[in-house]
Structure formats: structure tokens, C-alpha cells
Structure 1
Amino acid sequence: MDAVRAPVPRRRSAAVRSPVTVIGECVADAFTDAARSGPGELALRVHPGGGPANTAVALARLGTPVRFRGRLSGDVFGRLFRGQLAGSGVDLGGCVAAAEPSTLAVAELDEQGRAAYSFHAEGTADWQWTAAELAAVPADGSVCVHTGSLALARDPGGPAIEEYLAAAAATATVSVDPNVRPLLVDPAVYRERLPRWCERADLLRLSSDDLAVLYPQWSAAEACDRFHEAGAPLVVVTLGAEGALASLRGERIAVEAEPVAVADTVGAGDAFTAGLLHDLGGRGLLGGRLDALTVPEVAAACRFAARVAALTCAVHGPNPPWADRI
């Protein structure tokens, strides 16, 4: 049974930011590099990635205190992840030193800068969460717990994270990004679990690409209505170059994308989520079911998030901006 939510706190002071806990995977994003490839060989550029890790990095660079809960391997990629996260100011005290290898994704970009991935992810560190590992470092003091992506969708760790969310929802705003990856998880698994995620989530952020895989018959507006019915008060569908559609309990907000010369779109959705949470946290609105949230505040937060996403698209790889660039 899900934990009963405590009474929702009113707006907190924005003078001192409260921490956000992010749970999920780190993935080594390896991009093909034709310029450095020779006959009979393929050169790769490797960036630290993974949706939840990207969101944690973006939040920390914006100035939100972040605790990342990941299972980090001791291999060369695990060391790369630790350097990126710690160098961006993310607290890694709750991470597990995993014996399994890191997850690797090989990406090829199309002419619009969108990535198509092949994954090397069987038996890797990110999906092996146990309830005991998650309980070892509680989210005490965090006003928001953000998760999603493969760590939430894959077994055996996904159900353990769901139970963690059920407990955290008593005091923290819960944010979920499904980040659908049909090459690794059957879309039917997402469709089966999404109703449970919506029951636990206060904020559900997904992309139009996610919708196209899971519910091609739904418009973005219809998707918002369906996810509200399942329990999520705030739903945001990012639409790439067309901006985003946000819905607060059925009230719609259309947000334009910021114009930018696109290097690639890797990590843009994760950066958008970080910008949204950072702005809401700065207004003292995180820490409950978003009952105090208004439509104008959602619009302002989405505009800020669109700016963060645009700056991420302007550079190669999942490399979100620091606060002084906003």
C-alpha cells in the first residue's frame, strides 16, 4: 500500500534552496566520429550520460543542491561518471559502489542532431537496485525525488525504486520521466507500469517521441488528460522544436522552444526537466502535491526550462549549461 501523504506544506522560502534527490542510471554515450575513423576502424567519442544523471548534473549546475543515487561501477566509465557528477557539484554520498560493469550506449546522429542508440546493457550496474540499498540513504530533507528512464523500467531494480517513491511521496514532490527506450524495454512494460507511476508522480515529463512509441493514437493534449486521470497533477509533454505543452490539472499551457543553432539534441529533455524543477524549487513550490502551483508559475517554469534545453542543444553531447549562462 502506498504511503499516505502528509499535509502539503505551503510555499517555502526561496532564499535557501532545499535539496533534490535523483535516482537512476549513468550511461556511457559513445558517439561515432567519422572524422577520426580510418579504414577498418570506427572512432568513438564517449560522453557521460544517462537520463537521470544528466538531470542531476543540470540541476547542480543551475544551483540546486542535488543528491544522486546511482549504482556506479569501478570501471573506466564509472570513473568518468563520477568525475562529471562530482565536478558539477552533485552529492554522490548515496551511491552504491557496484561490482557490475557500466552501461554503454553507442549513438549515431542524424542530420537534425537526433541520436539513434544501440545498447550494451545486460548485467550492468544500473538495474540491480535492492530495497536495502535504497533504504540505506533515505531522502530526508529532499523536497523532490526525481527518477525514471531505464532504472525505473527494468527489473530487478525498477520495483524497488517504485516502493521508494511510494514512501518518499509522503513528504516530497515526486517527478518521473519515462524516457522510453524500446530497444531495451518492451513498450508494453511502460504501458503496464505508467498508471502506477502516475499514482506516485506529482510531475510527469515525457517527450513526443515517447508518446509516439507508447500511444501513437493520442495527441499531446489527450495524453495529458489520460495521465491526469491516472493521478499526475502536472504533466508536461516536450515537443522538440515545437516547444512544450504543459497541463496543470487540465489547464493547458503552450510554451515555444527557444531558437538555437542545434549541435545535437542529446540530453535536451533531461535539461528541460532540470530547468523545470530548478525554477519550481526556487519559487518554494516543491515538497508536496503541487497544490499551491498556479498556471502562470507553470508557464514561467516551462519558459526557463526551454531556455536550459536550448543551451544544451547548442553544444555536443549531454552538456547542460551553468547558471551564469542563463
Structure 2
Amino acid sequence: MAAQRPIAVLGECVADAVPDTSRPRPGELALRVLPGGGPANTAVALARLGTDTRFLGRISADAFGALFRAHLLSSGVDLSHVVAAPEPSTLALATLDEHGQAQYSFHAEATADWQWTADELAAAPGADAACLHTGSLALVRRPGGEHIEELLGRARSGATVSVDPNVRPLLVDPRLYRARMARWCALADILRLSSDDLELLAPDTSPERACDDWHLAGARLVVITLGSRGAMASLDGVRAFVPTPQVAVVDTIGAGDSFTAGLLHRLSVTGRLGGRLDGLTIDEVADACGFATRVAALTCSVAGPNPPWAQQLESGPAVAAHGQ
């Protein structure tokens, strides 16, 4: 059996700061800082599942950047093509509601993640990658976003292109995402987004109608995660619905990124990445989404963006699925 080609993930690393209430002191706010950022989370989850994963990012030389590097390397991510950036790291302050749902405020002006140049991306390796995944803020923020779009266009010659918009309305007006969606769908083979993204990108539109619109724009596979209601996948308009496994939720940080990693990992091991998804069936999509929901559920069962390792899915206790 031929060796699987690597998956390249391009995007940001973000320092996720969460209030630490374990040892409160009067007049202080203690923070626990975890390495995060949607693309970095996806790269970590892919590597932990056993996928050969290459991260393409601009990582600062500050203390947060050192944290990012250690976290990615310890998970098995290849950082040999990371750009050493002089700018500071991006910081996100997360607050959790009573259901473990995270809300963020960002400190992201002139930080390292968005400063991609055409020359930096021209030097990014990609010819041997089976898939290039990107999205989130790096794809939409200037000045780097337009250069990343150009890279996606070049990568299509030999790689499957995957995009997760991961809309962040506190940092970027959703109207800008909407204006770029047609372009992203024309570049992407796989579009993965959440129900929150759907509401911001296509208000008052059903998941089925949105999928049809995005298929017409060019995306062959659209997957919308629906939280506790599972996930809906649409392959050229043919649908599959997958239930969400039942776990005790600690928080949902990184769950969507883990889902994306599980989806891409499963498609990789079944040999479906590396082109325009030719030959992919809806049964294979449903299988990949079922695996992805399990990866996401295990991420929700622990604190922070801490996706499972392959052996945890193989030998750990099975999670129970919600009934339809």
C-alpha cells in the first residue's frame, strides 16, 4: 500500500486565555492560557490521529509563540516550514457559559497570523500534499487573506482543497465573509462550517438550501455541524445525516476543528484526498462524518482544545450516540 500523502494546514495560532477560578484572589483576574486557533487545533488533531500533518503558519518569537511550537511539536506536527514572525501573537479571551459554550474577545491587531506576504506563500511547500486545509481568520483578514486565496488556486493542481470559514463577527464583519464565499467555494472541494457560521453567512436559510447554493458556486462536499443535533453532509446535493455521540460536555472549545480533522483523516486513510473527490460516495462521506463526530465528542469531554490521540479512539470506551 502506498504511503499516504501529508495534509497541509494553513492558518493561525491563537493564545486562548480562559479565566482561572480555581484560586481566586481579591482584585485579580487569573488566566489560564492554552494554545489554540482553529487551523492550529485542526493540525494538532490530525497529527494525533496519525496523519502526516504539516503546519503552515507565522509563529511569533514571543512567549505565546514558544507555547504554540511546543504544543504542535509534542502532537507530532511538522513545523519545518513555519515562518518565524517578528510580530506578536494573537490573544483571545474566552468566557464560558453554563453549557460550556465559549464566547471570545480578541486582541489581534497587527499580529503575526495575518501578515502573510506573496513571497512567503510562494515558498510554502505543497506539491506533495494530498490536501490543503485553511480558513478562519487567516483567510479573511488583510493583508494575508488574498495571498492565501492565490495559494489555494495553485494547490488545486494536485491537492484537495478544504475550507472552514469559522466566522468571527467580533473581528470581521460577516458581510465580508458573505462577499468572499462564492470565491472560496470555487476554490474548495470541501466546505465545513457550523450552524453558527450558517446563521451568519446565510441568515434565515435552511442547511439544505445553503448547501445547494454552495454546490452551485463550486464546492462538491459541504458539511454543516449542528451541535447536539449531529451533522449534515451534502455531496453534490445528495444528503446524509449523522447523529452526535453523547458525552458529558466540559466545554466545546476546539470541537469544530476536531470534527474537521476527523473528517479529513478518514477521507485520507480511505484514499479519497488528492484531487476533486472523484469517486467519493455518500456512504463514504457518512462514514467519515461519523468518525469525525466521535473525535469532536471526545474533545468536548475534556477542557480546552485537547483532541484525542488515535489510541483513545481505538481502545477507549465508546461514546453513546443520541437517538434521532
Please give the TM-score of this superposition, normalised by the length of structure 1. 0.95
Matched residue pairs, number?
313
Match in the other structure for 2:319: none
Residues 146-194 of structure 1 show CA distances to partners (whole Å, capped at 9, x for unaligned) of: 0000000100000000000000011100000000000001101100111
- Is 1:160 aligned to 2:147, yes or no? yes
Q: 2:221 aligns with which of 234, 237, 245?
A: 234
Aligned counterparts of 2:274 and 2:55: Cα–Cα separation in 1: 18
Q: CA deviation at 1:222?
A: 1.2
Q: Does 1:267 align with 2:243?
A: no
Matches within 5 A, 1:102-121: 102-121=89-108
Once the two structures are TM-superposed, the CA of residue 220 in structure 1 deviates from its matched residue by 1.1
- Structure 1 outlier segments of 4+, above 6 Å: none
Distance in 2 (alpha carbons) for counterparts of 1:291 and 1:90: 28
Residue segments in structure 1 that go unaligned for 5+ positions in a row:
1-12
Once residues 285 and 307 of structure 2 are traced to their aligned partners in structure 1, the CA distance between those partners, rounded to angstroms, is: 21
Cα distance in 2 for partners of 1:97, 1:288 equals: 31
2:301 match? 314
Partner of 2:318: none
Q: What is the letter of the counterpart of residue 159 of structure 2?
A: A
- 1:33-92, Cα deviation, whole Å (9 max, x unpaired): 222232111111111000000000000000000110000001010000000101100000
Question: What amino acid is the match of 1:238?
Answer: T
- TM-score relative to the length of structure 2: 0.95
* Alignment pair present for 1:95 and 2:82: yes
Q: Give unmatched runs, 5+ long, in structure 2.
A: 314-324
2:187 to 175, 196, 200: 200
Provide the alpha-carbon RMSD of the alignment.
Answer: 0.8
Q: How does 1:184-263 map to 2 (within 5 A)?
A: 184-263=171-250
What amino acid does structure 2 have at the position aligned with 1:307? R
Q: Which residue of 2 aligns with 1:138?
A: 125
Return the match for 2:114 from 122, 127, 135: 127
Distance 1:90 1:47 in 2: 17
Q: Using the TM superposition, give the Cα deviation of residue 133 of structure 1 relative to its aligned residue in structure 2, in angstroms.
A: 0.3
Q: Counterpart of 1:52?
A: 39
Q: Distance in 2 between matches of 1:320 and 1:92?
A: 19
Q: Which amino acid aligns with 1:228?
A: H
The AA in structure 2 aligned to 1:203 is I
Q: How many angstroms apart in 1 are the aligned matches of 2:203 and 2:296? A: 24
**What SS is found at the alignment partner of 1:205?**
strand
Equivalent position SS for 1:37: coil
How far apart are 1:238 and its partner, in Å?
0.3
Q: Distance in 1 between matches of 2:124 and 2:246?
A: 41
Relative CO higher for 1 or 2, CA cutoff 8 Å, sep ≥ 6? 1
- Partners of 2:23 and 2:167 in 1: how far apart? 31
What residue identity is the alignment partner of 1:122?
A: E
In 2, distance between residues paired with 1:271 and 1:17? 20
